[in-house]
Structure 1
Amino acid sequence: MANNKETATFIVEHIGGQQNVDSLVHCATRLRFKLKDTSKVDEKALKDHPGILTAVESGAQYQVVIGNHVAKVYQEIMDQYDIQAGESSDADEGKSAEEIKQSVRSKNPIAIVFEYISGTFSPLIPALAGSGMIKALLAVLTMAGWLSEESSTYAVLDAASNGLFYFFPVFIGISAAKFLKVNPYVGGVIGAGLLEPSFASLMDASQSLDFMGIPLIISDYTQTVFPMLVAMAFYAPIERFLKNILQTQSNYFLCL
């Protein structure tokens, strides 16, 4: 099997070269390219390469499946080429609201949804894997009798493994905002608002609730995913719209 450096060079050469790449990110097993022109990709050569499992176009991304050592190939590419890392890519910045709308309309709606979900979760995979490994370790230690569930060590490790899941709306808000190229801190604040104690306490209210006359249904938003995905999908076009009508020096009002 080819080494990581050779594989990295081969991939870039057969996706149209460095100049054809807008940005690059990776998940647990795949390199996810945002390309300028997918017609320049030599897909057959990529699939035939021994260091590549497969290659596929998915939504606005071209994905090259490497396997568990994808991070090493990704680093080789970033070291050898002047390619923008996906999370910090500003390829869509400066576009007007109408240009963004036209871009969205040109894509399959189902592909847009899956691309959104995938793009939001990909940066969180290492954190999810780490939390899962701690939970698995705790299960093994307690089953083997080496650690008591009543011990302070268990309590600390359990809290560490549960932290990500409890504050999931915050992390989803930040990640979704980065994918949608809006302010990630506002995304985090929106998620934090769902977990704020006084808001969460409204679940116990006996009377019916409303917000500006709109019936309000309160539930436990800890460990939830889809409420924040929906919230950020609504928020992103609002921020873009406000950026187009507000002066640059007034952009700090966007968080309102």
Structure 2
Amino acid sequence: MKYTNTAKEILKTVGGEDNIESLVHCMTRLRFVLKDESQADDAYMKNIPGVMGVMKKGGQYQVIMGNDVASYFKELQKISTFSTNANTTSSKKKNPFEAFVDTISSCMSPLIPALLGGGMIKVLLILLPLMGLLDAKGQTYTILAFFGDAPFYFLPIMLAYTAAIKFNVTPMLAVSVAGIMLHPNFVAMVTAGDPVFLFGIPVTLASYSSSVIPILIMVWLMQYIESFSKNNPDCY
């Protein structure tokens, strides 16, 4: 019941459903994009039970809720209708830094549950052997290590999908690009360290597992490539 009552108060305090362009959440905050931020009552919002604070950043009206943010978000979904598309942004023009932060936040926020899960497994793999409950050299430990490592190793693939949503490109094409970066044969080339050439052009050998920036740049470029292809169908 506390979630429902608080959600109703928050909805009313941001100016009602009609004033919401979109709403997403991260680990601790409800991130509203409002049509008119002046309709939100900051002072009243801070006094609502469960609300820890308010921030206005990157074109978003952020309500800090703590660890229970997902529960409040679900209640807001029940009592109102709004877009949950992270690509929806305020009509206010952002400076380059705000745009960069918004992009990173929009792409990374959906991945938090997977990264938290992987991190928790890694912590258990440290504690259980110390407590004598798990053999660090056994197969169970090795297989559980796969579970903990997977979200981080395949981070570029997951980012490719969320970035594709953010930049409005074809998700499976973006995922395929990330797959190229993590292909076992390419990884083997990087490990070997021998010179590699593509059509005579030297290829920089780098490990892209667990990386963030390279795949974001690739998907960002894809929006221009796809746009050019759609506007010039004769080129293919």
Scaled by the length of structure 1, the TM-score of the pair is: 0.82
Pairwise CA distance, 1:183: 2.0
Q: Per-residue CA shift, 1:17-61, capped at 9, x if unaligned?
A: 101112211111111112222232222221232321111122132
List aligned pairs for 1:84-233, cutoff 5 A: 84-86=83-85, 106-203=93-190, 204=192, 206-207=194-195, 209=197, 213=201, 215-233=202-220
Q: Please identify, of 228-237 and 126-135, the stretch whose mean Cα deviation from structure 2 is larger.
A: 228-237
Q: Please identify, of 162-171 and 227-236, the stretch whose mean Cα deviation from structure 2 is larger.
A: 227-236
Check 1:113–1:51 CA distance in 2 against 1; reply closer, same or farther (3 A cut).
Answer: same
Check 1:137–1:206 CA distance in 2 against 1; reply closer, same or farther (3 A cut).
Answer: closer
Pairwise CA distance, 1:135: 0.8
The 3-state SS of whatever aligns with 1:148 is coil
Instruction: Report sequence identity in percent.
Output: 35
Q: Distance in 2 between matches of 1:115 and 1:212?
A: 38
List aligned pairs for 1:66-85, cutoff 5 A: 66-85=65-84
Q: Are 2:193 and 2:205, in contact at CA under 8 Å, matched by a contact in 1? A: no
The 3-state SS of whatever aligns with 2:99 is helix
Q: Residue 78 of structure 1 aligns to which amino acid in structure 2?
A: Q
Pairwise CA distance, 1:156: 1.5
Scaled by the length of structure 2, the TM-score of the pair is: 0.89
Q: Does 2:23 correspond to 1:24?
A: yes
Aligned to 1:99: none
Aligned residues: 234
Q: Distance in 2 between matches of 1:20 and 1:243?
A: 34
Q: Does 2:226 correspond to 1:239?
A: yes
Check 1:190–1:66 CA distance in 2 against 1; reply closer, same or farther (3 A cut).
Answer: same
Check 1:212–1:59 CA distance in 2 against 1; reply closer, same or farther (3 A cut).
Answer: farther
Aligned to 2:38: 39
Check 1:185–1:208 CA distance in 2 against 1; reply closer, same or farther (3 A cut).
Answer: closer
The 3-state SS of whatever aligns with 1:68 is helix
Q: Distance in 2 between matches of 1:78 and 1:62?
A: 17
Q: Does 2:10 correspond to 1:11?
A: yes
Pairwise CA distance, 1:112: 0.5
Check 1:208–1:157 CA distance in 2 against 1; reply closer, same or farther (3 A cut).
Answer: closer
The 3-state SS of whatever aligns with 2:132 is coil
Check 1:107–1:241 CA distance in 2 against 1; reply closer, same or farther (3 A cut).
Answer: farther
Check 1:60–1:245 CA distance in 2 against 1; reply closer, same or farther (3 A cut).
Answer: farther
Q: Are 2:10 and 2:48, in contact at CA under 8 Å, matched by a contact in 1? A: no
